[in-house]
Homo-oligomer: A and B are copies of this chain.
Amino acid sequence: MRLEEIASIIGAEFSGTDIKISGMNALKDATENQLSFVANSKYINDIKDSKAGVVLVDFKTKEFVGESVIALEVESPYWSMAILSKYFAPLIEDDELPFAKIGEGSKISKKAEIANGAIVGKNCTVMAHVYIGAEVVIGDNTIIYPNVTVYRDCVIGNDCIIHANSVIGSDGFGFATNKLGEHKKIYQNGNVILEDDIEIGSNSSIDRAVFGSTVLKKGVRIDNLVQVGHNCEIGEYSVMVSQSGIAGSTKLGRNVVMGGQSAAAGHLEIAPFSTFAARSGITKNIKESGKTFAGFPLMEHRKWLKLQIKIAKLLK
Protein backbone atom coordinates (compact mmCIF):
# COMPACT_ATOMS: atom_id res chain seq x y z
CA MET A 1 0.00 0.00 0.00
CA ARG A 2 1.33 3.46 -0.93
CA LEU A 3 2.04 5.86 1.90
CA GLU A 4 0.12 8.60 0.13
CA GLU A 5 -2.97 6.45 0.13
CA ILE A 6 -2.49 5.66 3.82
CA ALA A 7 -2.17 9.35 4.67
CA SER A 8 -5.27 10.10 2.68
CA ILE A 9 -7.34 7.40 4.44
CA ILE A 10 -6.58 8.75 7.90
CA GLY A 11 -6.58 12.40 6.92
CA ALA A 12 -2.92 13.03 7.72
CA GLU A 13 -0.75 15.53 5.89
CA PHE A 14 2.03 14.00 3.90
CA SER A 15 4.43 15.64 1.49
CA GLY A 16 7.60 13.53 1.34
CA THR A 17 8.70 10.73 -0.98
CA ASP A 18 5.94 8.21 -1.44
CA ILE A 19 7.00 4.73 -0.32
CA LYS A 20 5.37 1.34 -0.25
CA ILE A 21 4.19 0.06 3.12
CA SER A 22 3.86 -3.70 3.38
CA GLY A 23 2.27 -4.00 6.79
CA MET A 24 1.78 -2.76 10.34
CA ASN A 25 3.68 -3.76 13.42
CA ALA A 26 4.45 -2.86 17.03
CA LEU A 27 7.02 -0.11 17.51
CA LYS A 28 9.78 -2.44 18.63
CA ASP A 29 9.23 -4.99 15.86
CA ALA A 30 8.42 -2.82 12.85
CA THR A 31 10.82 -2.77 9.90
CA GLU A 32 11.55 -0.02 7.42
CA ASN A 33 8.67 -0.84 5.10
CA GLN A 34 6.19 -1.17 7.95
CA LEU A 35 3.97 1.33 9.68
CA SER A 36 3.75 1.62 13.46
CA PHE A 37 2.12 3.97 15.97
CA VAL A 38 2.61 5.66 19.34
CA ALA A 39 -0.70 5.45 21.14
CA ASN A 40 0.53 5.92 24.67
CA SER A 41 3.11 8.32 26.05
CA LYS A 42 4.83 5.50 27.92
CA TYR A 43 6.15 4.24 24.59
CA ILE A 44 7.80 7.54 23.70
CA ASN A 45 11.21 6.21 24.66
CA ASP A 46 10.79 3.32 22.26
CA ILE A 47 10.48 5.65 19.30
CA LYS A 48 14.16 6.32 18.97
CA ASP A 49 14.97 2.60 18.85
CA SER A 50 12.25 1.77 16.36
CA LYS A 51 13.17 0.74 12.85
CA ALA A 52 9.69 1.48 11.57
CA GLY A 53 9.48 3.29 8.25
CA VAL A 54 6.43 5.31 9.31
CA VAL A 55 4.84 6.04 12.66
CA LEU A 56 1.44 7.46 13.49
CA VAL A 57 1.81 10.09 16.20
CA ASP A 58 -0.26 12.82 17.76
CA PHE A 59 0.76 16.44 18.11
CA LYS A 60 2.52 15.86 21.43
CA THR A 61 4.59 12.83 20.45
CA LYS A 62 5.63 14.05 16.99
CA GLU A 63 8.72 15.81 18.28
CA PHE A 64 10.17 12.53 19.56
CA VAL A 65 10.36 10.96 16.12
CA GLY A 66 13.86 10.92 14.61
CA GLU A 67 14.75 12.10 11.13
CA SER A 68 15.05 8.67 9.59
CA VAL A 69 11.40 7.89 10.30
CA ILE A 70 8.37 9.41 8.60
CA ALA A 71 5.86 10.74 11.13
CA LEU A 72 2.17 10.98 10.22
CA GLU A 73 0.36 13.24 12.64
CA VAL A 74 -3.21 12.39 13.52
CA GLU A 75 -5.53 13.27 16.37
CA SER A 76 -5.66 9.72 17.72
CA PRO A 77 -2.91 7.36 16.52
CA TYR A 78 -4.69 4.36 18.01
CA TRP A 79 -7.95 5.10 16.22
CA SER A 80 -6.12 5.74 12.95
CA MET A 81 -4.21 2.51 13.37
CA ALA A 82 -7.52 0.70 13.82
CA ILE A 83 -8.83 2.22 10.60
CA LEU A 84 -5.71 1.17 8.70
CA SER A 85 -5.60 -2.35 10.14
CA LYS A 86 -8.53 -3.29 7.91
CA TYR A 87 -6.57 -2.43 4.79
CA PHE A 88 -3.77 -4.78 5.74
CA ALA A 89 -6.08 -7.67 6.62
CA PRO A 90 -5.65 -10.63 4.27
CA LEU A 91 -8.68 -12.13 2.56
CA ILE A 92 -10.46 -14.57 4.84
CA GLU A 93 -10.27 -17.10 2.04
CA ASP A 94 -8.50 -16.77 -1.28
CA ASP A 95 -9.71 -18.91 -4.18
CA GLU A 96 -6.63 -18.07 -6.19
CA LEU A 97 -4.34 -19.87 -3.78
CA PRO A 98 -3.32 -23.37 -4.86
CA PHE A 99 -5.36 -26.32 -3.64
CA ALA A 100 -4.45 -27.59 -0.21
CA LYS A 101 -1.65 -30.17 -0.04
CA ILE A 102 -2.25 -33.24 2.06
CA GLY A 103 0.64 -35.42 3.22
CA GLU A 104 0.87 -39.14 2.73
CA GLY A 105 -1.16 -41.25 5.11
CA SER A 106 -3.33 -38.40 6.33
CA LYS A 107 -7.01 -39.10 6.72
CA ILE A 108 -9.18 -36.09 5.96
CA SER A 109 -12.92 -36.36 6.46
CA LYS A 110 -14.99 -35.53 3.39
CA LYS A 111 -16.98 -33.33 5.71
CA ALA A 112 -13.94 -31.29 6.72
CA GLU A 113 -13.08 -28.12 4.84
CA ILE A 114 -9.46 -27.41 4.00
CA ALA A 115 -9.09 -23.98 2.43
CA ASN A 116 -6.86 -23.30 -0.53
CA GLY A 117 -3.27 -22.64 0.39
CA ALA A 118 -3.25 -24.95 3.43
CA ILE A 119 -0.67 -27.69 3.93
CA VAL A 120 -1.33 -30.76 6.06
CA GLY A 121 1.57 -33.09 6.91
CA LYS A 122 1.78 -36.88 6.98
CA ASN A 123 -0.36 -39.30 8.96
CA CYS A 124 -2.69 -36.63 10.28
CA THR A 125 -6.34 -37.15 11.16
CA VAL A 126 -8.71 -34.31 10.33
CA MET A 127 -12.23 -35.19 11.31
CA ALA A 128 -15.69 -34.11 10.19
CA HIS A 129 -16.69 -30.44 10.27
CA VAL A 130 -13.15 -29.25 10.90
CA TYR A 131 -12.21 -26.02 9.17
CA ILE A 132 -8.58 -25.40 8.22
CA GLY A 133 -8.02 -21.89 6.89
CA ALA A 134 -5.92 -20.50 4.09
CA GLU A 135 -2.16 -21.01 4.31
CA VAL A 136 -2.40 -22.94 7.55
CA VAL A 137 0.52 -25.34 7.95
CA ILE A 138 0.10 -28.52 9.99
CA GLY A 139 2.92 -30.96 10.80
CA ASP A 140 2.86 -34.76 10.92
CA ASN A 141 0.81 -37.13 13.11
CA THR A 142 -1.50 -34.39 14.34
CA ILE A 143 -5.11 -35.22 15.24
CA ILE A 144 -7.86 -32.63 14.89
CA TYR A 145 -11.20 -33.68 16.33
CA PRO A 146 -14.58 -32.64 14.88
CA ASN A 147 -15.82 -29.06 14.70
CA VAL A 148 -12.42 -27.50 15.37
CA THR A 149 -11.79 -24.21 13.55
CA VAL A 150 -8.26 -23.18 12.60
CA TYR A 151 -8.15 -19.65 11.20
CA ARG A 152 -5.93 -18.72 8.27
CA ASP A 153 -2.14 -18.46 8.56
CA CYS A 154 -1.88 -20.47 11.78
CA VAL A 155 0.85 -23.06 12.22
CA ILE A 156 0.41 -26.36 14.07
CA GLY A 157 3.34 -28.66 14.77
CA ASN A 158 3.83 -32.42 14.83
CA ASP A 159 2.12 -34.82 17.23
CA CYS A 160 -0.50 -32.32 18.38
CA ILE A 161 -4.04 -33.19 19.45
CA ILE A 162 -6.78 -30.58 19.25
CA HIS A 163 -10.04 -31.62 20.80
CA ALA A 164 -13.49 -30.95 19.47
CA ASN A 165 -14.91 -27.46 19.02
CA SER A 166 -11.77 -25.58 19.97
CA VAL A 167 -10.73 -22.54 17.99
CA ILE A 168 -7.18 -21.73 16.98
CA GLY A 169 -6.56 -18.25 15.68
CA SER A 170 -9.77 -16.34 16.26
CA ASP A 171 -9.28 -12.59 16.36
CA GLY A 172 -7.76 -11.11 19.49
CA PHE A 173 -10.05 -8.74 21.36
CA GLY A 174 -8.82 -5.45 19.97
CA PHE A 175 -10.51 -2.16 19.20
CA ALA A 176 -9.98 1.55 19.56
CA THR A 177 -12.63 3.66 21.30
CA ASN A 178 -13.31 7.31 20.53
CA LYS A 179 -14.62 10.03 22.80
CA LEU A 180 -18.19 9.13 21.95
CA GLY A 181 -17.55 5.63 23.24
CA GLU A 182 -17.75 4.10 19.77
CA HIS A 183 -15.43 1.24 18.90
CA LYS A 184 -13.34 0.60 15.81
CA LYS A 185 -12.07 -2.92 15.22
CA ILE A 186 -8.33 -3.49 15.12
CA TYR A 187 -7.90 -6.27 12.61
CA GLN A 188 -5.76 -9.04 14.01
CA ASN A 189 -3.34 -9.73 11.22
CA GLY A 190 -0.96 -12.03 13.11
CA ASN A 191 -1.37 -15.76 13.69
CA VAL A 192 -1.06 -18.60 16.22
CA ILE A 193 1.89 -20.97 16.32
CA LEU A 194 1.50 -24.28 18.13
CA GLU A 195 4.80 -26.11 18.37
CA ASP A 196 5.09 -29.91 18.63
CA ASP A 197 3.46 -32.30 21.10
CA ILE A 198 0.71 -29.91 22.22
CA GLU A 199 -2.70 -31.05 23.41
CA ILE A 200 -5.64 -28.66 23.53
CA GLY A 201 -8.94 -29.60 25.15
CA SER A 202 -12.45 -29.00 23.87
CA ASN A 203 -14.15 -25.61 23.55
CA SER A 204 -10.94 -23.64 24.13
CA SER A 205 -9.99 -20.44 22.31
CA ILE A 206 -6.46 -19.46 21.33
CA ASP A 207 -6.52 -15.99 19.80
CA ARG A 208 -4.30 -14.88 16.94
CA ALA A 209 -1.85 -12.03 17.45
CA VAL A 210 -2.64 -8.51 16.36
CA PHE A 211 0.86 -8.43 14.84
CA GLY A 212 3.31 -11.33 15.00
CA SER A 213 2.31 -14.55 16.71
CA THR A 214 0.62 -16.04 19.73
CA VAL A 215 2.97 -18.92 20.56
CA LEU A 216 2.45 -22.15 22.47
CA LYS A 217 5.74 -23.94 22.88
CA LYS A 218 6.50 -27.62 22.79
CA GLY A 219 4.59 -29.90 25.12
CA VAL A 220 2.00 -27.38 26.36
CA ARG A 221 -1.19 -28.87 27.80
CA ILE A 222 -4.42 -26.84 27.59
CA ASP A 223 -7.63 -28.16 29.15
CA ASN A 224 -11.24 -27.37 28.16
CA LEU A 225 -12.84 -23.88 28.01
CA VAL A 226 -9.50 -22.09 28.34
CA GLN A 227 -8.82 -18.61 26.97
CA VAL A 228 -5.44 -17.56 25.59
CA GLY A 229 -5.37 -13.92 24.55
CA HIS A 230 -3.62 -12.43 21.55
CA ASN A 231 0.17 -12.27 21.51
CA CYS A 232 0.59 -14.52 24.54
CA GLU A 233 3.54 -16.85 24.75
CA ILE A 234 3.25 -20.08 26.72
CA GLY A 235 6.49 -21.81 27.66
CA GLU A 236 7.36 -25.45 27.13
CA TYR A 237 5.27 -27.99 29.04
CA SER A 238 3.15 -25.35 30.74
CA VAL A 239 -0.32 -26.43 31.81
CA MET A 240 -3.60 -24.49 31.83
CA VAL A 241 -6.42 -26.21 33.67
CA SER A 242 -10.06 -25.85 32.67
CA GLN A 243 -11.70 -22.41 32.59
CA SER A 244 -8.41 -20.59 33.20
CA GLY A 245 -7.43 -17.67 31.02
CA ILE A 246 -4.58 -15.34 30.23
CA ALA A 247 -5.05 -11.88 28.79
CA GLY A 248 -3.16 -10.45 25.86
CA SER A 249 0.64 -10.36 25.59
CA THR A 250 1.28 -12.29 28.80
CA LYS A 251 4.24 -14.67 28.76
CA LEU A 252 4.35 -17.82 30.82
CA GLY A 253 7.74 -19.44 31.30
CA ARG A 254 8.17 -23.19 30.95
CA ASN A 255 6.30 -25.62 33.20
CA VAL A 256 3.99 -22.98 34.61
CA VAL A 257 0.76 -24.45 35.99
CA MET A 258 -2.41 -22.35 35.92
CA GLY A 259 -5.07 -23.97 38.12
CA GLY A 260 -8.74 -24.22 37.24
CA GLN A 261 -10.51 -20.84 36.77
CA SER A 262 -7.25 -18.98 37.45
CA ALA A 263 -6.38 -15.99 35.33
CA ALA A 264 -3.56 -13.62 34.48
CA ALA A 265 -3.89 -10.01 33.40
CA GLY A 266 -2.25 -8.85 30.21
CA HIS A 267 1.37 -7.89 29.50
CA LEU A 268 2.81 -9.95 32.37
CA GLU A 269 5.89 -12.15 32.57
CA ILE A 270 5.61 -15.25 34.70
CA ALA A 271 8.76 -17.08 35.78
CA PRO A 272 9.23 -20.75 34.86
CA PHE A 273 7.94 -23.48 37.15
CA SER A 274 5.47 -21.12 38.85
CA THR A 275 2.33 -22.84 40.10
CA PHE A 276 -0.97 -21.02 40.56
CA ALA A 277 -3.70 -22.63 42.64
CA ALA A 278 -7.23 -22.78 41.31
CA ARG A 279 -8.85 -19.35 41.00
CA SER A 280 -5.59 -17.43 41.42
CA GLY A 281 -5.69 -13.95 39.91
CA ILE A 282 -2.31 -12.76 38.67
CA THR A 283 -1.86 -9.03 38.15
CA LYS A 284 1.91 -8.59 38.52
CA ASN A 285 5.05 -10.08 37.05
CA ILE A 286 6.44 -13.14 38.81
CA LYS A 287 10.20 -12.91 38.75
CA GLU A 288 11.34 -15.78 40.93
CA SER A 289 10.77 -19.22 39.57
CA GLY A 290 9.47 -22.31 41.30
CA LYS A 291 7.00 -20.77 43.72
CA THR A 292 3.37 -21.57 44.41
CA PHE A 293 0.72 -18.86 44.59
CA ALA A 294 -2.96 -18.51 45.37
CA GLY A 295 -5.68 -15.92 45.83
CA PHE A 296 -6.79 -12.69 44.30
CA PRO A 297 -4.96 -10.45 44.98
CA LEU A 298 -2.27 -13.03 44.49
CA MET A 299 0.06 -14.10 47.30
CA GLU A 300 2.29 -17.03 48.08
CA HIS A 301 0.17 -20.07 48.75
CA ARG A 302 1.36 -20.53 52.34
CA LYS A 303 0.47 -16.89 53.08
CA TRP A 304 -2.92 -17.40 51.54
CA LEU A 305 -3.52 -20.35 53.84
CA LYS A 306 -2.54 -18.23 56.86
CA LEU A 307 -4.79 -15.43 55.68
CA GLN A 308 -7.76 -17.75 55.51
CA ILE A 309 -7.16 -18.72 59.14
CA LYS A 310 -7.04 -15.03 60.12
CA ILE A 311 -10.21 -14.33 58.18
CA ALA A 312 -11.95 -17.28 59.79
CA LYS A 313 -11.08 -15.79 63.19
CA LEU A 314 -12.94 -12.61 62.27
CA LEU A 315 -16.10 -14.66 62.53
CA LYS A 316 -15.54 -15.53 66.18
Residues from chain B with Cβ under 8 Å of A223 in the complex: 173, 227
A-B contact pairs, 10 of them (CB 8 A): A109-B113, A131-B164, A161-B171, A163-B171, A177-B237, A207-B224, A225-B245, A261-B261, A279-B296, A307-B311
Q: In the complex the two chains form, is B245's CB within 8 Å of A245's CB? A: no
Is A36 close to B, CB under 8 A? Answer: no
CA distance A278 to B310 in the complex (A): 24
Contact string against B for A residues 232-262, beta-carbon threshold 8 Å, 1 for contact and 0 otherwise: 0000110101110101000000110000110
Binding site for B on A (CB under 8 A): 92-93, 109, 111, 113, 125, 127-129, 131, 143, 145-149, 151, 161, 163-167, 170-171, 173, 175, 177, 181-183, 185, 197, 199, 201-205, 207, 219, 221, 223-225, 227, 229, 236-237, 239, 241-243, 245, 247, 254-255, 260-261, 263, 265, 273, 278-279, 281, 296-297, 303, 306-308, 310-311, 314-315
Q: How many Å from the CB of A47 to the closest CB on chain B?
A: 29
Q: Is the interface of A mostly helix, strand, loop or mixed?
A: loop
Set B145, B204, B311: member contacting A203, Cβ < 8 A: B204
Going nearest first, the 5 A-B pairs with the smallest beta carbon separation are: A149-B164, A131-B146, A113-B128, A170-B202, A205-B224
Instruction: Decide yes or no: A297 and B308 within 8 Å by CB, A149-B147, A227-B242 being known contacts.
Output: yes
Residues from chain B with Cβ under 8 Å of A303 in the complex: 315
Q: What number of copies of this chain does the assembly contain? A: 3
Q: In the complex the two chains form, is A224's CB within 8 Å of B173's CB? A: yes
- Since A147-B149, A149-B165 are in contact, a sample of 18 more A-B pairs with Cβ atoms closer than 8 Å, ordered by chain A residue number, is A92-B125, A113-B129, A147-B165, A149-B164, A166-B203, A173-B201, A173-B224, A175-B221, A183-B221, A183-B237, A224-B227, A225-B225, A242-B247, A243-B263, A245-B260, A245-B261, A265-B278, A310-B315
Q: In the complex the two chains form, is B164's CB within 8 Å of A92's CB? A: no
Q: In the complex the two chains form, is B315's CB within 8 Å of A314's CB? A: no
Q: How many Å from the CB of A113 to the closest CB on chain B?
A: 4
CA distance A75 to B90 in the complex (A): 52
Set B229, B242, B306: member contacting A315, Cβ < 8 A: B306
Residues from chain B with Cβ under 8 Å of A265 in the complex: 260, 278
Q: In the complex the two chains form, is A147's CB within 8 Å of B145's CB? A: no
Q: In the complex the two chains form, is A111's CB within 8 Å of B109's CB? A: no
Q: Which B residue's beta carbon lies closest to that of A305?
A: B297
Residues from chain B with Cβ under 8 Å of A306 in the complex: 315
Residues from chain B with Cβ under 8 Å of A127 in the complex: 92-93, 131
Residues from chain B with Cβ under 8 Å of A149 in the complex: 129, 145-147, 164-165, 202
Residues from chain B with Cβ under 8 Å of A128 in the complex: 113, 129, 131
Set B199, B236, B247: member contacting A185, Cβ < 8 A: B199
